[in-house]
Structure 1
């Protein structure tokens, strides 16, 4: 195996199941590798808002002059996006070297794709001479591979029902899994406005330093031009809104500021670094609005909670003659609830297959939508790939319309891999028959 693609294909075939929660195997290999960090670690769990929270933390810490490492998943286009060191995606050749180290250390221990690649990315960051490490939980928290690393600050974003077969079918059960990233005596930031009681109870049981939104930190965002935040030891006023758009981004930003407040003795940041970080950050695929006429919106919302926020943000954009929806999703999602949320908004659907066996088929999405829709005049089409679906929408769209690409990372990534879409008013599709 010479290339990153070779190694990733190998990792996919190594373990008998794609997902097997548990820390014993991955912890044993990490101990053999002597994997450790000598800098503060921030671990982020939650159902939605994890990626945005990690991006905000990274942007502010970079602006403060700290050397950061960030691990997030999944990726949109290239696997290397999962690991950013000092603000840049890791080089494929460096990652290959770390994968080789995992292979040498594991012996006869079978690792899942996520476990194998997580260990490689942690190794890459451990030897990079970093000042701060930001780890996004892949699934749950308590039994997720990143939880082999003892965090210095746990952050739990919004909690809702997702991956119910693995994490439980109630917010209380899922909250308990997320709370597993907390550590005794260390800050645990909970930015969910109404957290499950299981999260609070677990923090008390282990003696974590629990920070709750509305009790230990809060924000005010009534002014359309600026917002303010207050925590235990610091206040910010006159903050510009984060460049990330979306209905819940101030909640995510508040959790970020609480975490930085809690770690201020080890990772001090200036008010200017906070302002610059919020203003300069970028995270593709999170209510990403491509300006122009017509407007294109890209969002990886893939569960009812995230789609509700997407619908709220779309509604706040004002009126459009038509909304074209490109949609593909994993089969294990609550697709019926997602379709009900978006049915009043989408005028024409473009259902797409996705390049993974876990995905729902486009024809099944269409059949489910037809059984749910309350809109007699809405139409739909089927496509073999997200880009084909997007091109079909582009062929029909008018300057007063908008295109919304949402659902799985595969849906948005399948469009973004061709470059950020921009629809020129002089493009051929603007004059195509409708």
Structure 2
């Protein structure tokens, strides 16, 4: 192949430039064509995870438990914060630049005349990389929706849908029923189809029935209960008692953990996992940017909450943290989100808003967000009790919050992966 990039940054730059105008191009025909030319197939069980929120956490818990059980685990998870390599993990470690470049070369060699988006190309490359690695299990996180997501050209042995809420309405529809149908598109006939949403849309239930998937519903086929110290899971034939809470913090993590344990129960003949391995996996799981509380003072919380469902969970988690004198928010969000529904749950929790523009053409303008937030200024509030200020980027917004926050205050960074990634990058460069 003439003049192909030889480094990962150059490959990523090329892929971004090829599809500068088209960010999302729904439909699987192109991806399927290239997949077949590549001969892409997994020789191990595949767990696929979709959902509006919680899919990254569920993938991370599955990976952690299965690694504790001694299995060779491949994980495709996205988006990344600092390095593209974060998207492809083999046995808990990020894939190397060289392995990813080789996979990109392979896709390019089989693409021919087919035009692939950045997401489609990179998805095929990472799935190829995982399929050629000697694995016991592959965990694939769905990007957007399910039915038409590039990951869905693979047939999952177990498909998990974590939660269904309103997001990406331009592509998925603006009701839970419409979105539920899109998520259910990852289900397969005769295979386990797990739904961890406590109130599953009828469209998801009907689609599973229509294709003959083996549907597992929370509250019917599996459930959980817990007190302050520990929790327990009950599946169709498995009970797991005296479990420690997952190391990932937040009110919804037991829903995600239960869906993960249901998936493992469905695969118990191929991938048996013991009680101690489940406990250790949940205790040791890590996932950046999901209600991640950083050590030190002031308290800093990173959370990628960017839709109403996730924002409500974030507000609940902040409310459960105890007393802080002031809370500063570093906030940036995409223009196409339901911005008011993301902001509203946080108004009770946040005193000072440091609002950032994001490095994306879809970014909401910080000045407009400040105007929107200022309309919520409490009557008679003094400057020390409420503020909303615009900044050029998340790093500047975070620097301002850090300069004003005392050691008994907290800073919450949320609204988008871009917001959290911008602050992570600023913190990393300040340490060097």
TM range, normalised to the smaller chain? over 0.9
Deviation sequence 1:293-333 (CA, Å, 0-9, x none): 22110100000000100000000001111000000111111
Alignment partner of 2:186: what SS?
A: coil
1:408 and 2:412 are equivalent in the alignment: no
By how many angstroms is 1:418 displaced? Answer: 3.6
8 Å contact from structure 2 (residues 158, 193) kept in 1: yes
Change in 2 beyond 3 A, CA 1:240/1:375: farther
Q: TM-score, normalised by structure 2?
A: 0.95
Mark the runs of 5 or more structure 1 residues left unpaired by the alignment. 424-434
Distance between the aligned counterparts of 1:417 and 1:236, measured in 2? 39
Q: Partner residue of 1:5?
A: 9
Distance between the aligned counterparts of 1:86 and 1:400, measured in 2? 39
8 Å contact from structure 2 (residues 374, 388) kept in 1: no
Matches within 5 A, 1:91-240: 91-221=96-226, 223-240=227-244
Q: Partner residue of 2:42?
A: 37
Mark the runs of 5 or more structure 2 residues left unpaired by the alignment. none
Change in 2 beyond 3 A, CA 1:219/1:375: farther
Deviation sequence 1:347-371 (CA, Å, 0-9, x none): 0000001111121121121122223
1:278 and 2:286 are equivalent in the alignment: no
Matches within 5 A, 1:233-382: 233-374=237-378, 377=381, 378-382=386-390
8 Å contact from structure 1 (residues 336, 372) kept in 2: no
Q: TM-score, normalised by structure 1?
A: 0.95
Distance between the aligned counterparts of 1:422 and 1:256, measured in 2? 37
Moved over 6 A (4+): 420-423
Deviation sequence 1:51-109 (CA, Å, 0-9, x none): 00000000000011110111111111111101101110111111011111111111111
8 Å contact from structure 1 (residues 53, 252) kept in 2: yes
Q: Please tell me the root mean square deviation across aligned C-alpha atoms, in Å.
A: 1.4
Q: Partner residue of 1:393?
A: 401
Change in 2 beyond 3 A, CA 1:376/1:132: farther
Change in 2 beyond 3 A, CA 1:261/1:421: farther
Stretch moving more, 176-185 or 232-241: 232-241
8 Å contact from structure 1 (residues 290, 421) kept in 2: no
Distance between the aligned counterparts of 1:82 and 1:257, measured in 2? 23
Change in 2 beyond 3 A, CA 1:228/1:315: same
8 Å contact from structure 1 (residues 301, 310) kept in 2: yes
